[in-house]
Structure 1
Amino acid sequence: MNQTQSQSQGSGLAPNVAALLCYVCPILTGIIFLILEKENQKVRFHAWQALMFGVTSIVVQIGFSILGAILGAIASFLGAILAILSPIVWLVFFVFWIVCMVKAYQGEQYKLPLLGDMAEKQAAKG
């Protein structure tokens, strides 16, 4: 096994460990590994996907909060419906987050719906 297979160039970590760490704190660690890993396409893919995933999850949760406040002011039952849906959406994001970490550690390039293709294009740009 050569050095590029056993450890990443920039971080000195094994590529699967670096890919996993991209998802630990998606926005922060995604940016860190984009800076550190200039060569490893797989780690860069996971860094981009983690970054996009982190931003998307925050935007969706903020959107749910704002929409819930507006709809709750109009009709309380609409706010209650969103209050029920919000934890379900959070749970879906949480499951995807765990799946991404497991797949990254296994060395797979698991692509999230919508975000995976964008991350792949960004990673290919280098």
Structure 2
Amino acid sequence: MASKKSKDGGQNNVRNAIFIFAYLFEWLSGIIVYVLAEGNKRERLHAMQAIVLGVCAIAVSIIFGFTVPILSALLGLLIWVYGLYIGFKAYNGVDVEIPIITDFVKKNLI
């Protein structure tokens, strides 16, 4: 997991709260942030990462929900907490690259 400091250095914390919101409800809040982030590439990147992370959480829940419900719930919770971690890091001006997801978003969706 690579991290790099953003250009604003996390100085605009009121504006940066959008990153925490993007990961709060994953795909749903990610869509809202994506629509509202007109032209802000960093916000759109995190919004798309949140959407893809949310879709992955749903897929994990469906796959493991039928076979091992406890594992499904635990993995879903871990993915949500990981998303919040990424949101807080982005709030502080550090962009965390999610393995596979960040590359997918940068190549295909942004």
TM-score normalised according to structure 2 size: 0.75
Shift of 1:120: 2.4
The worse-fitting range, judged by mean Cα deviation, of 28-37 and 41-50 is 28-37
Structure 2: runs of 5+ lacking an equivalent = 1-7
Could you tell me which amino acid in structure 1 is paired with residue 82 of structure 2?
F
Pairwise CA RMSD: 2.1
Equivalent residue of 2:95, what SS?
A: coil
Match of residue 94, structure 2, among 105, 108, 111: 108
Contact 1:22/1:50 (<8 A) preserved: yes
Instruction: Report sequence identity in percent.
Output: 31
| Corresponding position: 1:117 with 2:103 | yes
Q: Which residue of 2 aligns with 1:52?
A: 52
The one of the two structures with greater contact order (alpha-carbon pairs below 8 A, sep at least 6) is 2
Equivalent residue of 1:22, what SS?
A: helix
Equivalent residue of 1:38, what SS?
A: coil
Could you tell me which amino acid in structure 1 is paired with residue 26 of structure 2?
P
TM-score normalised according to structure 1 size: 0.66
How many residues were matched structurally?
99
Structure 1: runs of 5+ lacking an equivalent = 8-12, 69-81
Aligned pair in 2 of structure 1 residues 84, 20: CA closer, same or farther (>3 Å)? closer
Q: Which has the larger radius of gyration?
A: 1
Q: How far apart, in 2, do the equivalents of 1:104 and 1:44 lie?
A: 12
- CA deviations on 1:48-87 (whole Å, 9 max, x unpaired) are 0000001110111111013x1xxxxxxxxxxxxx355334
Decide which structure has greater strand share.
Answer: 2
Aligned pair in 2 of structure 1 residues 90, 27: CA closer, same or farther (>3 Å)? closer
Aligned pair in 2 of structure 1 residues 87, 35: CA closer, same or farther (>3 Å)? closer
Q: How far apart, in 2, do the equivalents of 1:91 and 1:51 lie?
A: 16
